[in-house]
Chains A and B, each alone.
Chain A
């Protein structure tokens, strides 16, 4: 397992499995923030101290396997090219923050890309686990197991009343952010999502676009996560999030039914037009591509488009990102060149399905 392996496939191995409710929930993620007790936190520590942290984990965990997670690959961020960094961000394996603080930052990624442990991000450790579909509880259990495994070698910064002591006060307590990626085209189409968002926010949850804070909802994909980390147990937080997600799933399914019933032709037209654009365009911007991909995916979920797997669209969403395109082209591309390559990759990929 090498860096090459992470770079060459747009779709992570774990995405190939289907999870519960995967027609609407693309993935579930648990992230834990942890720090080492006696070392200043990454934003303010000297490089020397951060080098200690980084090399400790390299020595103890690089190339190790643990339970079903094989072959943790240790990657020093400063050794990555800018395109490589971008691809790992586009695949959600590392955060944009990590790529900006490169001196002593690193990541350990499991062979199936399900577990990614970032070192010297905003906190000394950021443990991330991804699961296909809606599997938050399961993801939480596994995250705890990985957490305990890492704790074998370090003393965590922890306080009996304040919990895990993180760099940012918004993470203190559990240090946990649970999130799900949801595809909600029908709620967008029927404009229900705008009414729902304030209600979701009031429940202490946050709705964001696909690439996290500040990003827009490309391709009708929304990320929903907990805001509060203090005062509630991890299990309760996950349960609350899950119940909201379940309601959203129900509303999305109802909205899909309504559209299917009330304007089947308009819907079919929209879906096939998008399919046509993906299958035949020669120049395509990422935003248009994302919207078309979302429509086609909806068509697949509703049984309108057959013989195309859902997975191919998860794959396309990453494949069309600027970093991935440039990695594929093996050179930097102008925006126009990117749009041309994007169109040709999408055409090729749809052709493969036939």
Chain B
């Protein structure tokens, strides 16, 4: 069906106007609808981003109270982004922002992700290794403590060497060298 105004573009918007009980159907395209004032758009386009920042601003009235003032002014130590800047932009400045704003994040994430706040997908290989190594390191350290208490110094020395090797590997990993 073509637009009844320009007769060029297809009619994508259909209105029913009732004036004094008289019903008229209007079928127009988006361009003509805008020109003739059938519809009002707040500005050119309405992006997902506008929608999002709308979501973040859900309880601005509460935010004015002193209890929330502190949270509002939270600032990320890594990139300097404040919580109010984050709300406005709808974007994080760096990975540390997630820690900095963590207390205020879950309600936002729940809204965006249909109630979910916990990741249950892929884990990066390296972070995974890292995590495992840190856990192993922790258990070696506990072992070492016990061996020293038992005065089993020879075994303790072995464990100490393992700890040193692990620590070196962790340092390498953190320096970004995978060899």
The chain A residues found within 8 Å of chain B, CB to CB, are 35, 37-41, 43-45, 122, 144, 147-148, 151-170, 172-174, 176, 204, 213-214, 228-234
User: For the complex, is B63 an interface residue (Cβ under 8 Å from A)?
Assistant: no
Measured between C-beta atoms, what is the minimum distance from A188 to chain B in Å? Answer: 11
For residues 79 through 98 of chain B, which have their beta carbon under 8 Å from a beta carbon of chain A? Answer: 79, 81, 89-95, 98
B48 and A155 within 8 A (CB): no
A40 and B78 within 8 A (CB): yes
16 chain-A/chain-B pairs, Cβ below 8 angstroms: A40-B78, A41-B94, A155-B127, A159-B119, A161-B119, A162-B119, A166-B92, A167-B92, A169-B108, A170-B48, A173-B113, A173-B119, A174-B121, A228-B114, A231-B117, A232-B120
A234 and B122 within 8 A (CB): yes
B118 and A44 within 8 A (CB): no
B45 and A214 within 8 A (CB): yes
Bound CA–CA A311/B47 (angstroms)? 33
User: For the complex, is B66 an interface residue (Cβ under 8 Å from A)?
Assistant: no
B47 and A213 within 8 A (CB): yes
User: 1/0 per residue B100-115: CB within 8 Å of A?
Assistant: 0000010011001111
Bound CA–CA A122/B119 (angstroms)? 21
Name the prevailing secondary structure of the B interface residues: loop
Measured between C-beta atoms, what is the minimum distance from A300 to chain B in Å? Answer: 24
Bound CA–CA A257/B95 (angstroms)? 52
Which of B94, B98, B112, B116 counts the most A-chain CB atoms under 10 A from its CB? B94
Bound CA–CA A291/B122 (angstroms)? 40
- Inter-chain CB contacts under 8 Å: number: 134
Q: Which residues of A contact B174 (CB under 8 A)?
A: 155
A231 and B116 within 8 A (CB): yes
A152 and B178 within 8 A (CB): yes
Select one of A37, A45, A169 contacting B112, CB under 8 A.
A169
Select one of A39, A148, A164 contacting B94, CB under 8 A.
A39
Bound CA–CA A152/B47 (angstroms)? 36
Measured between C-beta atoms, what is the minimum distance from A101 to chain B in Å? Answer: 13
Measured between C-beta atoms, what is the minimum distance from A206 to chain B in Å? Answer: 9
Bound CA–CA A174/B116 (angstroms)? 12
The chain B residues found within 8 Å of chain A, CB to CB, are 45, 47-48, 52, 78-79, 81, 89-95, 98, 105, 108-109, 112-127, 131, 173-174, 176, 178
Measured between C-beta atoms, what is the minimum distance from A38 to chain B in Å? Answer: 8
B121 and A41 within 8 A (CB): no
B92 and A41 within 8 A (CB): yes
Measured between C-beta atoms, what is the minimum distance from A335 to chain B in Å? Answer: 15
B114 and A165 within 8 A (CB): no
Bound CA–CA A151/B45 (angstroms)? 37
Bound CA–CA A173/B93 (angstroms)? 17
Q: Which residues of B contact A39 (CB under 8 A)?
A: 94
A156 and B126 within 8 A (CB): yes
B120 and A231 within 8 A (CB): yes
Bound CA–CA A173/B116 (angstroms)? 10
Select one of A148, A165, A214 contacting B92, CB under 8 A.
A165
Bound CA–CA A167/B79 (angstroms)? 13
Select one of A37, A151, A169 contacting B95, CB under 8 A.
A37
B119 and A163 within 8 A (CB): yes
Q: Which residues of A contact B78 (CB under 8 A)?
A: 40
Measured between C-beta atoms, what is the minimum distance from B34 to chain A in Å? Answer: 15
Bound CA–CA A162/B95 (angstroms)? 11
Bound CA–CA A213/B49 (angstroms)? 10
The 7 closest A-B pairs by CB, nearest first: A231-B116, A163-B119, A157-B95, A230-B113, A174-B121, A44-B93, A40-B94
Select one of A38, A43, A159, A228 contacting B91, CB under 8 A.
A43
A168 and B90 within 8 A (CB): yes
Measured between C-beta atoms, what is the minimum distance from A160 to chain B in Å? Answer: 8
B109 and A230 within 8 A (CB): yes
Measured between C-beta atoms, what is the minimum distance from A110 to chain B in Å? Answer: 21
Measured between C-beta atoms, what is the minimum distance from B108 to chain A in Å? Answer: 6
Bound CA–CA A173/B47 (angstroms)? 22
Q: Which A residue's beta carbon lies closest to that of B131? A: A160
Bound CA–CA A214/B30 (angstroms)? 14
B176 and A153 within 8 A (CB): yes
Q: Which B residue's beta carbon lies closest to that of A140? A: B122
Q: Which B residue's beta carbon lies closest to that of A170? A: B112
